Amino acid sequence: MGLFIFNSSIGRKLIMSISGLALILFLLFHSIMNIFVIFSPEIYDAICKFLGANWYALIATMGLAFLFVVHIVYAFWLSLQNYIARGKERYAVKKNAPGVDWASQNMLVLGAIVLGFIALHLFNFWYKMQLQELLAKLNGEVLHVEGAALVQELFASPVYCLLYIVWLVALWFHLTHGFWSALHSLGGSNTVWLPRIKVISNIFSTVIVLLFMAIPVYYLIINLLG
Amino acid sequence: MEKTISIHLKIWRQRGPKAKGAFETYHLDHVSTDSSFLEMLDMLNEQLVGSGKEPVVFDHDCREGICGMCSLYINGHPHGPDEDITTCQLHMRKFKDGETITIEPWRSHGFPIIRDLMVDRTAFDKIIQAGGYVSINTGGIPDANAIPISKVKADEAMDAASCIGCGACVAACKNGSAMLFVSAKVSQLALLPQGQVEAARRAKSMVAKMDELGFGNCTNTGACEAECPKNISITNIARLNREFLAAKFQD
C-alpha cells in the first residue's frame, strides 16, 4: 500500500497536501508569536528563549525542515512530470480560461520566490539565534539571544522592510491557492464546500500574511516618522 | 439576408506522428455566418481538394455535440471561444470579418498527433477499459423504486455521466492531466448503488492506468472545468481523490 505515495499521482498529491497543510499550521503559530514583538518585546524574548536551543525546539525544527524538504522535492518532481505530460509542442495561442486563478498556474514560481526569501530569513534570524545558542551550548556555555532587538535592528533598514513585504505578498498568493487546493486533493470538497473552502482559504491566508506583514510595516512607519 | 465574412486561417499541418509540423495560412471568402465551424473547414477542404492539395485532417462525427469526436484548439481555447459547447456546435457568427483564426490540435503527451489536427485519444478508451465491469444483481424484475436514490445524488451522477470524453480537459490543463475525465467516469458509478461492488477496484485501476499513460498530476487550477463543453465540475476530482485514498488505505 505504502508505495502509492511515490508511484501514483493522487498519492503524490496527498504528500503535497499534508506537508503543505502542516507548513500552514507552522505559519499560523509563527505569525501569532511574531506579533508580540510589537506589543511586548519581553514576551517575545521569552518565546525566543523558550524556542531556543532546547531539545523539544530542536526536534520541532528538524521536523519542520523535513516538511520543507518533502514539500519542495515533491513540488519539483510533480512539476517536472507535469511539464513532460504537457507534450513537446506548446500551443501557439493560449488564452486563460475564465475563473482560473493566476496563483494556481504559478505555484512553482511563487514557491521558488518564497524559498529564496526563506534562505535570507534563516540567515537574518535562525543563524543568529538558535544556531548560535546551539553552538554556545556545545561549548558548555549558555547564550540567550534577544530576538526583539534583532528584529528592530534588521527592520531599521527600509530596504529589508520592503523585501520582507514583497516576500509576504508572494506567500499570500501561494497560500490562497495552496490551502484550498490541499483540502481539495485530500477529498474534502464537494459542490457545497468548494466555494466555502476557497473563501476560508482566502481569509486564512490574508490573516496569516497580515500578522506577518504588520511587523515590517510597523517598523517602516515608525522609522519614517523618526 | 445571409451575411458572409472573409477569414484568415492559421492551421497546424503535420504529415504524421513522427513528422515535423508547422503552421500554414489559408484565406477563405464568402463564409456564411450561419455556417458551423466544421462546415467552414469543409469549405476550406473543398477549396484545397479543388486546387489539387491535401485536405486538412480533423476529427468529427455526430456534429451535434454528443459523440465527443470533434476537438480543435481554436484561438487559445479547446472547442473555441464560446462556452459549454463542442467545436461542432460553434458557429461562424462568433468570428469577425477579416479575423485570423488559429487552429491547433490538442497538445499533450497522452494524445499524440496522428495527422494535422487529428490526435490519438485511445488513451481514454484504455482508462475506461481499466475500470472493468459493473456487477448488477438482476434477480427478478426489480421495481422502479426498489432502489432508492436521492435526487441530489441522481443529479450529480447524471451530470458526471454527461462527460463525452472529448479530451478538452487534458488539452486545457497546463499539467496535461486527465483527472477531470477520470473523476467523471468514476463519479457516475461511485454515486449510485449499482456501482458499489467494484468501486474501490475501479478507482485504483483507472488512476493507475491514467498515470501509466503519461497524464500529468492535477494541481487544481480549474482550467479543465472552465473549458469543459459539458460543464463537468472539479468537485468530481475531490470525489475521485476520496475514493482512491479510501481504497488505498483499506488495502
Q: Is the pLDDT of residue A52 over 90?
A: no
Band of residue A26 on the pLDDT scale cut at 50, 70, 90: very high
Which of B174, B210, B233 should be substituted to probe chain A, the one whose Cβ sees the most A Cβ atoms within 10 Å?
B174
Counting one residue from chain A and one from chain B, the pairs whose CB atoms sit within 8 A come to: 146
Which of A1, A8, A10 should be substituted to probe chain B, the one whose Cβ sees the most B Cβ atoms within 10 Å?
A10
A183: cell is: 483540502
Q: What is the pLDDT of chain A when averaged over all its residues?
A: 93
b/e per residue B158-183 (b: at least 16 CB within 10 A): ebbbebbbbbbbbbbbbbbbbbbbbb
Chain B partners of A9 at a C-beta cutoff of 8 Å? Answer: 177, 179, 207, 210-211, 215-218
**What pLDDT does residue A70 have?**
97
List the one residue out of B55, B95, B87, B93 whose CA is nearest residue B69: B87
Domains of chain B in start order, with CATH, are 4-104 (3.10.20.30), 121-250 (1.10.1060.10)
Scanning chain A, the segments in alpha helix (DSSP H) are 4-7, 9-34, 36-39, 41-50, 55-85, 102-105, 107-121, 130-138, 147-154, 158-185, 193-224
- Stretch A189-193: mean pLDDT, rounded? 91
Q: What is the pLDDT of chain B when averaged over all its residues?
A: 94
Distance in Å, alpha carbon of B162 to nearest chain A alpha carbon: 17
Note the pLDDT tens digit of each residue in B102-145: 999 999 999 999 999 999 999 999 999 999 999 877 778 777 77
Containing A101, the helix (H) or strand (E) segment is none
Least confident span in A131-135, A173-177, B83-87, B114-118: A131-135
**What pLDDT does residue A5 have?**
87
Nearest-Cα residue of chain A relative to residue B187: A190
Chain B partners of A189 at a C-beta cutoff of 8 Å? Answer: 235, 238
Beta strands B100-104 and B4-13, pairing class? parallel
In order, the DSSP letters of A14-37 are HHHHHHHHHHHHHHHHHHHHHTHH
Would you put residue A88 in left (φ > 0), alpha (ψ -120 to 50) or beta? alpha
**What pLDDT does residue B1 have?**
62
Q: How far is CA A129 from the centre of its chain?
A: 19
Distance in Å, alpha carbon of B243 to nearest chain A alpha carbon: 8
3-class SS of residue B104: strand
Q: Do A187 and B21 touch (CB under 8 A)?
A: no
Nearest to B108 among A85, A93, A101 (CB): A85
CATH of A4-224, one of 1.10.3470, 1.10.238, 2.30.30, 1.20.1300: 1.20.1300
Distance CA A194, CA A100 (A): 14
Q: ipTM of the assembly? A: 0.91
Q: Do A14 and B245 touch (CB under 8 A)?
A: yes
* Number of CB atoms found within 10 A of residue B46's CB: 11
**What pLDDT does residue B195 have?**
84
Chain B partners of A81 at a C-beta cutoff of 8 Å? Answer: 216-217
- Stretch A41-66: mean pLDDT, rounded? 92
**What pLDDT does residue A1 have?**
53
Chain B partners of A196 at a C-beta cutoff of 8 Å? Answer: none
